[in-house]
């Protein structure tokens, strides 16, 4: 009996010749773990079950959840690697503006506003396209 070490698989899509697979027909790809000491793979007939599972990013090796969109490439990368433009550069002026807004709305001094809260508010603003 081999003891399986629990880890988050690093999913990549492979095209085993044995299955008559080729990168031209993505539907024949098999999702397998890229880690050297792991032989895990998702059999073709349940390949869709990879969706929604945790995987390690093939670029930054952070954990992320596989989505259909991210599974569009053979070596899926996480959302922040796939969409670096979403990772907005820190805007000090905006940060101050939002922080002051929150403080004013609440009628409390600036020091009482947590940075994390400001970041969250900025994120919401951007998501709403403001
Ligand atoms: Zn694995
Ligand atoms: Zn990544």
Q: What is the pTM of this model?
A: 0.59
Q: Write out the chain's pLDDT in tens, 130 residues.
A: 455 568 999 999 988 776 666 666 666 778 999 999 999 988 767 767 889 999 999 999 999 999 998 998 999 999 888 887 766 667 888 899 999 999 999 999 999 999 889 988 988 888 887 6
Return the sign of the alpha-carbon dihedral for residues 58, 62, 66, 67.
negative
Looking at all shown ligands, the one closest to residue 59's CA atom is 2
Classify residue 86 as exposed, middle or buried by CB count within 10 Å of its CB (0-12, 13-18, 19+): exposed
Contact 43, 14 (CB under 8 A): no
Per-residue pLDDT at 59:
95
| CA of residue 115 to ligand 2 center, whole Å | 24
Looking at all shown ligands, the one closest to residue 56's CA atom is 2
Looking at all shown ligands, the one closest to residue 79's CA atom is 2
| CA of residue 121 to ligand 2 center, whole Å | 24
Per-residue pLDDT at 84:
78
Strand partners, 63: 56
């Amino acid at each position: 009996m081999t003891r399986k070490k629990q880890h988050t698989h690093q999913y990549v899509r492979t095209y085993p010749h044995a299955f008559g697979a080729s990168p031209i027909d993505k539907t024949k790809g098999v999702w397998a773990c890229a880690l050297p000491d792991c032989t895990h793979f998702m059999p073709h007939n349940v390949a869709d079950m990879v969706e929604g599972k945790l995987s390690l990013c093939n670029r930054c090796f952070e954990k992320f959840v596989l989505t259909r969109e991210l599974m569009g490439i053979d070596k899926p990368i996480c959302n922040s690697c796939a969409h670096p433009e979403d990772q907005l550069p820190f805007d000090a002026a905006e940060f101050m503006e939002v922080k002051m807004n929150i403080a004013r709305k609440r009628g409390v001094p600036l020091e009482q506003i947590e940075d994390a809260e400001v970041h969250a508010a900025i994120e919401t603003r951007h998501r709403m396209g403001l």
